[in-house]
Chains A and B, each alone.
Chain A
């Protein structure tokens, strides 16, 4: 995802448009991250914790870290396959 060039917002009583935009972007990024984490929690629990034991085994822990890596990679693959032809 490409970043906007952001200038630091001036401090004032009512938020400047720039400050508002930064705030909106920060909130959208947070919502996106939350949703992604929630999805990975479900997917990786399904894949890696097949029989919950008294604690996370080292095998489960490493499965989870591989699962998170693969899920992010899958997101990139899907994104490229959707938008590669219609890139502006």
Chain B
């Protein structure tokens, strides 16, 4: 890349924002994959069943809770 790009504040701001967006998209993609496997157990229908829907809405938050628990329990073992 043109080294002068590093001195362009507008471009730097843009790159930071895009990087954040990519990280958010990656988190969503990862969780969607995990939660799809967990929550969608039969062949996909023309809409989600109520239980699939509620499983999907809770799945991401519970995954985050679990991550915190794992981090805490591994740190306390150090």
Which residue numbers of A lie inside 8 Å of B, CB to CB?
Answer: 14-15, 17, 20-21, 24-25, 28, 32, 35-36, 39, 43-44, 47-48, 63, 66-67, 69-71, 73-75, 77-79, 81-83
Interchain CB contact (< 8 A) of A74 among B11, B27, B56 = B56
Contact with A along B9-53 (1 / 0, CB 8 A): 011001100100110110111011101110110011111100001
Given A14-B2, A17-B10, A83-B24, also A78-B60 (CB < 8 A): yes
Q: How many of chain B's residues touch chain A, expressed as a range? A: 35 or more
Which residues of chain B come closer than 8 Å to A17, judged between CB atoms?
A: 5, 8, 10-11, 14
B interface, by DSSP: helix, strand, loop or mixed?
helix
